[in-house]
Amino acid sequence: MPDVTVPSPTDAVSYWLAASPAGPEHPPLSGDGATDVVIVGAGFTGLWTAIALTDTDPGLRVTILEAETIGYGASGRNGGFCQASLTHGLANGLRHFPDELAILDAEGLANLAAIEAFVRDNGIDCDFERTGDLSVADQPYQVDELKAWVDVAAEWGEEVVFLDSAAVREEVHSPLWQAGLFRPPAQGRDALVDPAKLVRGLARVCEERGVVLHEQTRVEAVERRAGGVRLRTDDGALLDADHVVVATSAFVYRFAWVSSAPFGTPVVPDVYRMTASSSSARSAQSVTGCRSPSSVRASGSVTRMTWAPLSAAPLAASSAIWSQATMTEAPESPR
């Protein structure tokens, strides 16, 4: 197994996880047991899977084993951009799936609407808000690209508005930004959520449906047995199941059984880090409209407003501060 250091929850707690109440604890798995389906990992993938399974068969016994705490992985520490696009934007969709794009687009819109309906119907208070989207140019050559994009987007049913430098600064007062492309909330394609509240809300719904959750339960091995699988945890507990769903996302490389299986190659993402803007950058920015501007640069810099301090520095409760995620290349790949 590769030698990769993963920060512990105590030295790398996420802003979102720290900013809202944790909810009930779920004791580790102890002893031996059996279930119909076991899901490894309590992030969005694991929790939505449990919800889909119990939608299909409310009587199914589903158990989720989580090595750390609910939402410990990317689900509890992401940007909270909840968008309809299944292709990470129209441009990417046109590049990779031009023939299927109309179907993907319709599915994506339905998906976002279904997420909104689910959180509303299940009382998940995750600050779901239809915000619209703002792409910004910080280089002169990007200004013409943004202008040209208005017509391309219109062909695909997206109405976007070009903002010149004065107009984009009306939205967000940054001296860096030279133009922008605004997709209004009425397009129904963009929302923001508090990801920690969402992931914890999904865990609550799972419990209400009878799904059993265990935190601080690291699965060390998954072995085939007649008619199913047997999972062994770091404490030596054993759980037999008919089926296993490995929902560990980027952590899959630590899973020797999966990473050596013939059916898949783990995909390890680039390093993604989320930082607060410096206080000087913060004071240079103010917002009047869209709350989630993102740069059109390939490095993938996205910004959104948060409402509580990211650091210990005291800020007025009403202060809007920015969190910024910048995708950079990983210094070395764990595999």
Binding interface with ligand FAD (CB under 6 A): 40-46, 65-68, 72-75, 77-81, 218-219, 247-251, 254-255, 272, 274, 325
Shortest separation between residue 151's beta carbon and ligand FAD, angstroms: 27
Of 122 and 328, which has the nearer Cβ to ligand FAD? 328
Of 43 and 93, which has the nearer Cβ to ligand FAD? 43
Shortest separation between residue 302's beta carbon and ligand FAD, angstroms: 7
Q: At what angle do helices 44-56 and 195-208 cross, to 10 degrees?
A: 30
Shortest separation between residue 49's beta carbon and ligand FAD, angstroms: 9
Of 117 and 148, which has the nearer Cβ to ligand FAD? 117
Tell me which residue of 323, 304, 308 sits closest to 82, measured CA to CA: 304
Shortest separation between residue 175's beta carbon and ligand FAD, angstroms: 25
Residue showing tokens 């799972």: 206
Q: Is 135 helix (H, G, I), strand (E, B) or coil?
A: strand
Give the C-alpha separation, 35 to 100, whole Å. Answer: 38
Tell me how far apart the terminal alpha carbons of the chain are, to the nearest angstrom: 9
Of 16 and 177, which has the nearer Cβ to ligand FAD? 16
Of 169 and 200, which has the nearer Cβ to ligand FAD? 200
Shortest separation between residue 147's beta carbon and ligand FAD, angstroms: 26
Of 158 and 215, which has the nearer Cβ to ligand FAD? 215
Q: How buried is 108 (Cβ within 10 angstroms: 0-12 exposed, 13-18 middle, 19+ buried)? A: middle
Shortest separation between residue 189's beta carbon and ligand FAD, angstroms: 13
Shortest separation between residue 205's beta carbon and ligand FAD, angstroms: 15
> Other CB atoms closer than 10 Å to residue 136's CB: what's the count?
26
Of 111 and 165, which has the nearer Cβ to ligand FAD? 111
Of 45 and 295, which has the nearer Cβ to ligand FAD? 45
| Cα 85 to Cα 14, 100, 170, 178, distances in angstroms | 25, 13, 27, 25
Give the C-alpha separation, 79 to 302, whole Å. Answer: 8
How are beta strands 32-40 and 62-65 bridged, if at all?
parallel
Give the C-alpha separation, 144 to 142, whole Å. Answer: 6
Shortest separation between residue 40's beta carbon and ligand FAD, angstroms: 5
H helix runs in the chain, sequence order: 15-19, 44-56, 90-96, 101-121, 140-155, 165-171, 195-208, 256-259, 279-284
DSSP string, 148-188: HHHHHHHHTT---EEE-HHHHHHHB--TT--EEEEE-GGGS
Of 67 and 290, which has the nearer Cβ to ligand FAD? 67
Residues 64 and 204 sit within 8 Å (Cβ to Cβ) = no
Q: Identify any residues that bridge with 275 across adjacent strands, giving them in sequence order.
A: 324
Shortest separation between residue 158's beta carbon and ligand FAD, angstroms: 18
